[in-house]
Amino acid sequence: MSLVTLFGLFGTQAGGLESHAEWEPLLPGLIILLPLLGFVINGALALSATRKSADAVRAGGEFDFFENGRPTTHSLPTWVGPGVMLLAFVLTLVNFFGMLGAELHEPVIRSYWAWISTGDLHVDAAIQLDQLSIIMMMVITGVGFLIHVFSVGYMQDDPGYPRYFAYLNLFVFFMLVLVMGASYPIMFIGWEGVGLCSYLLIGFWFSDEEKASAGKKAFIVNRIGDLGFLLAIFLLYLVFQKVDYNGVIGDATSVFQYGGAMVTTVTLLFLLAAVGKSAQIPLYIWLPDAMAGPTPVSALIHAATMVTAGVYLVVRSSVLFALAPLSSALVAGIGVLTALFAATIALKQQDIKKVLAYSTISQLGYMFLGVGVGAYTAGIFHLMTHAFFKALLFLGAGAVIHSIHHALHHTHKDWDAQDMRNMGGLKAYMPITWITMWLATLAISGIWPFAGFFSKDEIIWMTGAMAGAENAPYPGLYTVYWILALAAAMLTAFYMARLMVLTFHGENRTGPKEAEHLHEAPKTMWIPLAILAVLSVFGGWINVTTDLRESVLGGFGLLPMGEWLHHWLEPVTEAAHQIQEARLGQVAHAAPFGGGEVAWGMISFIAALAVVLVTVRLLGRKEVPVAVDDAEPTGFARVLYNKWYVDEFYHRWVVDPILTTSRVLWRVVDATIIDGTVRMLGNGTRAIGWVGSLFQTGQVNTYALFLTVGVLVILSMIAF
C-alpha cells in the first residue's frame, strides 16, 4: 500500500455504478485533513507549552506565558486554529458551488484506503459528498470558523490556549468525518470522536473537579447511545452484508418490510444513539453539565454541531425511518416531549448558560419532531437556523460573561459571573452584543421574518399536516404532538425574552464599582456575533414554502424567498418521501383544528410576539435581587429550578445501584466466593496435610502400634 494512495487527497472513485462524472470535487480529503493538521500543530505547541507550565507548577507557582506583555504561546495557534478553519470553509464553499452547478443525482464517493477488510466485511475509509453532507459541512466549517475567531478573544488570558485550539480543531476534524463518511462505521468514528473532544473540552479546566466530572458524565452517557449505534450497524450487516450508505439505503426498500420488526429494531437502535448524542429524553442529562466548558465550546459543540449529529443520523437514514412508522412516531414523540420538558426547566434557571443549554435541548427536540414526522428537510433547516442563532446566543452570553468576569475580577468580588441576577442593564455597556442577541432571540422565538420563524413553523405545520394525512398511522398522537409543539414555542419565547430582560434591561445589579469595568467585547468577539446575526435574520429565507411565500408573510411574493433548501435536498430525501407518499397518502392542507399554513403561521407569529412583548413589559418592571440575596424558590418553581429532580433520580436509581452492585460483586462474589473457593482448595490441601501430620507423634510407641496393626492387616488380607 503506497504512501501516495494512503494519503492521496484525490482518492479513488468508489460507489461503482454508472458514475456521473460530471462533477469532480476539489480536494475533499483536504477539507478533513486541514483541521487535523491544525490539531497536530496546535497539539505539538501545547505539549511543549505545558512542559514549561508544569515546571512552574512544580515550583509552586503558575506558568506566566506573558513575556514583555505579549503571550508567547499564543501567536501560532491564533493563526493556525482559525486559519485551517477558514481554508476548510473556503474549500467547502468551492465544492458547494461546484455541486450547485452540477445537478448531482448520485452522491460522489471518494475512497482512500480499505480500513477494515476481512471475511465478508469491507469498510473503506471513504467520504461521500452529496447535498446533505455539503450543507452540514458548510455549517460546521462556517460557524466553526466564526467560533474559532471568537475564541481568539475569549481565551486570550487562558494558559491553555494552544491546547484549546488543538482540541477544537480535532473536534471539527471528527465532526467532518461524521458528516462526510460514506458508511455507518466511518460515521461512528466521527460520532465517538466528537464525544471524545466533547469530553476533553468540557473538562478543559480539569483542575476543577466539577468540570472534570461533567466531561466524564458526557462521555459515559454518550456511550450509552453508542451502544445503540453499534447494535444497529451489526443488524444492518446481518441483513445486508454491507454497512455503507449506498449499500444499505439502496436495497432497503426491497429487503425491509414496511413496519417490519427488523427495520423497526434498527431504527430504534439508531434512535437510542441519536438520543444520547443529541441530548433528548432520557439521555439529555449531560448537556446542562457540559456548560462547565468554555462558552465558545458550548456554542460550537453543544449548539451548532455535535448535538445535531443525531438529527443528521436520522436524515441520512431517512429511508429506514420512513419504513418504520413506529420508530418515526417515537422519534417525534421524544422530540416534542423533550422540547416541552426542557422549555419548562429553562423558565426557572438563573445561570445564563443553563437557560441556553435547556433551550438547545428544547430546540433539538423540535428537530427530532421534524424528522420524526417525516419532514426531513424541515429538520435540517431548523438545524441550520438553530446553528446560527444558538451559536450567536452562546457567543453573546460568552461576551457577557467575559465582561462581567472582568468586572468582578477587578474588585475581587466573589459573585457568580454567569448568574443573570448579577447582571442587568448591560445594554448600555454592550450595545452590539445586546442588539445581536435580541436578533437571535427574535429568531429563536419564531418571530417573522427572522430565521427561526420559518424553520420552526415548518416543523409545527408539518406535524399538523401529517396528523391529518390520508393514511396517517397515528393521527391522534400527532395532533397531540402538534399542540405540545405550539405550547413549547410559547414557552421558548417567554424564557428567551426573560433571559434578555434579566441580562440587558433594567438597572445594572453587578455593582457600581464593577460597572466601571464593564465594556463591549473586542473586535474578534463581536464581529462573529454580527455575522451570525445577519444569518439569523436572513437565513430563514432559503426555505419558505410556496403558500407562505405568496401570502403576506412572503411579501406576497416580493421578498426574495424560496423553497431552495427543499429542492436542494431532494436527491437525498426523495426515497423516503416516495415511501411516505405511497404509505401515508397526501398530507393534509389544514391543521388538526382547521386553518391553513398561512393562518397558523400568522397565529404563532403573533402569539410569540405577544409573549415577548408582555414579558419585556412585566419582567422589565420587576425588582430582581442579586444572587446572594435571592431566596430559594418554592413550590412548583422549585421543581423546575431543580430540573424536575431528574439527575437525583438517575443517581438514586441507576448510578448508585450500579456502584453498590459493583462493590458487592467485588467484595462478596469475587473476594469471598470465588477467591474463597480457590483459597479453600489451597487451605483444604494444607488441612489434609495437617491431619496427616498428626500421625507423626515422634513417639516410638505410636509407631510400634501402627507397625503392629499394619502387619496384622496385611496378614489378614493374605489369609482371607
Partner 1 sequence: MLNGIAYDSWVLHALIWLPLLGAAHVLWAVEDKAKTLALRWSLVVFVLSIGLWWAYDPTLGGGYQLASSHSWIAAWGVSYAVGLDGISLFMVMLTTFTTPLAILGSFNYIKKREKPFYALMLLLEVGVVGVFSAVDLFLFYVFFELTLVPMYFIIGIWGGERRIYAAIKFFLYTAVGSLLMLVGILYMYARGKAVLGVASFAFVDLLQIPLTPTEQMWLFGAFALAFAIKVPVFPFHTWLPDAHVEAPTPGSVVLAAVLLKMGTYGFVRFLLPFFPLATRHPTVVALMLTLGVVGIIYAAWVAAVQPDAKKLVAYTSVAHMGFVVIGVFALNVNGLQGGLLVMISHGISTGALFLLLGMLYERRHTRTIAEFGGIGRVAPWMATAFVITALASIGLPGTSGFVGEFLALIGVFENHPGVGVFATSGVIFAAYYMLPMVQSVFFNALDKPENRAVQDLSRREVAILAPMIALMIVIGVHPTPLLRRTEPSVQMILDRVWEGVPPGGVSVGLAADTVTGLVEHRGAVASRPDQVAPGTGE
Partner 2 sequence: MLAESLVVAGAIFVLGTLGVIVRRNAIVMFLCIELQLNAVNLTFVAFSRYVGIEGQVFVFFVMTVAAAEAAVGLAIIISIFRHYETVNVDKFNLLRW
CA–CA gap between residue 270 and residue 233 (Å, rounded): 9
> Nearer to partner 2 by C-beta: 671 or 709?
709
CA–CA gap between residue 540 and residue 453 (Å, rounded): 7
Q: Which of residues 242-271 bind partner 2 (CB under 8 A)?
A: none
Judged by beta carbon distances under 5 to 8 A according to partner kind, the member of partner 1, partner 2, none in contact with residue 666 is partner 1
- Residue 318: which of 575, 545, 560, 610 has the closest Cα? 575
Q: How many alpha carbons fall within 13 Å on the CB side of residue 333? A: 14
CA–CA gap between residue 150 and residue 396 (Å, rounded): 10
> Nearer to partner 1 by C-beta: 219 or 453?
219
> Nearer to partner 1 by C-beta: 149 or 177?
177
- Residue 390: which of 298, 310, 453, 324 has the closest Cα? 298
> Nearer to partner 1 by C-beta: 226 or 514?
226
Angle of the 75-102 helix axis to the 161-180 helix axis, nearest 10: 20
Place of cell 445486508: 240
The answer for residues whose C-beta is within 8 angstroms of residue 79's C-beta and 6 or more apart is none
Angle of the 309-316 helix axis to the 184-202 helix axis, nearest 10: 170
SS3 content of the chain, % helix, strand, coil (to 5): 75, 5, 20
Q: Helix or strand or coil: residue 14? A: strand
Number of residues this chain uses to bind partner 2 (CB under 8 A): 11
Please give the helix or strand (H or E) that residue 112 lies within, else none.
strand 108-118
> Nearer to partner 2 by C-beta: 118 or 699?
699
Judged by beta carbon distances under 5 to 8 A according to partner kind, the member of partner 2, partner 1, none in contact with residue 428 is none
- Residue 363: which of 248, 285, 452, 431 has the closest Cα? 452
Q: Helix or strand or coil: residue 127? A: strand
CA–CA gap between residue 139 and residue 382 (Å, rounded): 12
CA–CA gap between residue 466 and residue 474 (Å, rounded): 9
Judged by beta carbon distances under 5 to 8 A according to partner kind, the member of partner 1, partner 2, none in contact with residue 700 is partner 2
Place of cell 426491497: 254
Shortest spacing between CB 710 and partner 2, in angstroms = 13
Judged by beta carbon distances under 5 to 8 A according to partner kind, the member of partner 1, partner 2, none in contact with residue 120 is partner 1
The answer for residues whose C-beta is within 8 angstroms of residue 602's C-beta and 6 or more apart is 552, 553
CA–CA gap between residue 611 and residue 495 (Å, rounded): 10
Shortest spacing between CB 664 and partner 2, in angstroms = 41
Binding status of residue 719 toward partner 2 by CB under 8 A: no
> Nearer to partner 2 by C-beta: 701 or 716?
701
CA–CA gap between residue 43 and residue 50 (Å, rounded): 10
Joined grid coordinates for residue 334: 421524544
> Nearer to partner 2 by C-beta: 662 or 697?
697
Q: Helix or strand or coil: residue 441? A: helix
> Nearer to partner 2 by C-beta: 254 or 701?
701
> Nearer to partner 2 by C-beta: 257 or 697?
697
- Lay out the site mask for partner 2 across 684-713 (x = CB under 8 A, - = otherwise): ---------xx-xxxxxx--xx--x-----
> Nearer to partner 2 by C-beta: 69 or 698?
698
> Nearer to partner 2 by C-beta: 558 or 700?
700
Please give the helix or strand (H or E) that residue 67 lies within, else none.
strand 66-67
Judged by beta carbon distances under 5 to 8 A according to partner kind, the member of partner 1, partner 2, none in contact with residue 192 is partner 1
Judged by beta carbon distances under 5 to 8 A according to partner kind, the member of partner 2, partner 1, none in contact with residue 610 is none
Q: Distance from CA of residue 596 to its chain's centroid? A: 34
Judged by beta carbon distances under 5 to 8 A according to partner kind, the member of partner 2, partner 1, none in contact with residue 94 is none
Q: Which three-class secondary structure string do you get for 419-437?
A: EHHHCCCHHHCCHHHHHHH
Shortest spacing between CB 713 and partner 2, in angstroms = 15
Judged by beta carbon distances under 5 to 8 A according to partner kind, the member of partner 1, partner 2, none in contact with residue 639 is none
Judged by beta carbon distances under 5 to 8 A according to partner kind, the member of partner 2, partner 1, none in contact with residue 699 is partner 2
Judged by beta carbon distances under 5 to 8 A according to partner kind, the member of partner 1, partner 2, none in contact with residue 708 is partner 2
Task: Name the strands in the sheet holding 108-118, side by side, starting at the edge strand that comes first in the sequence.
Answer: 12-14, 108-118, 121-129
Provide the binding-site residues for partner 1, judged by CB under 8 A.
1, 6, 47, 50-51, 53-54, 57-58, 60, 113-121, 125, 185, 188-189, 191-193, 196, 199, 203, 206-209, 212-213, 216, 219-220, 223-224, 226-227, 230-231, 233-235, 237-238, 658-659, 661-663, 665-666, 669-670, 674-675, 678, 682
- Lay out the site mask for partner 2 across 57-96 (x = CB under 8 A, - = otherwise): ----------------------------------------
Judged by beta carbon distances under 5 to 8 A according to partner kind, the member of partner 2, partner 1, none in contact with residue 22 is none
> Nearer to partner 1 by C-beta: 59 or 558?
59
Judged by beta carbon distances under 5 to 8 A according to partner kind, the member of partner 1, partner 2, none in contact with residue 662 is partner 1
Give the other-Cβ count within 10 Å of 637's Cβ. Answer: 12
Contact 145, 164 (CB under 8 A): no
CA–CA gap between residue 387 and residue 367 (Å, rounded): 12
Shortest spacing between CB 695 and partner 2, in angstroms = 8
Judged by beta carbon distances under 5 to 8 A according to partner kind, the member of partner 1, partner 2, none in contact with residue 696 is partner 2
- Lay out the site mask for partner 2 across 634-673 (x = CB under 8 A, - = otherwise): ----------------------------------------
> Nearer to partner 2 by C-beta: 634 or 701?
701
Shortest spacing between CB 694 and partner 2, in angstroms = 7
Q: Which chain residues interact with partner 2 by CB under 8 A?
A: 693-694, 696-701, 704-705, 708
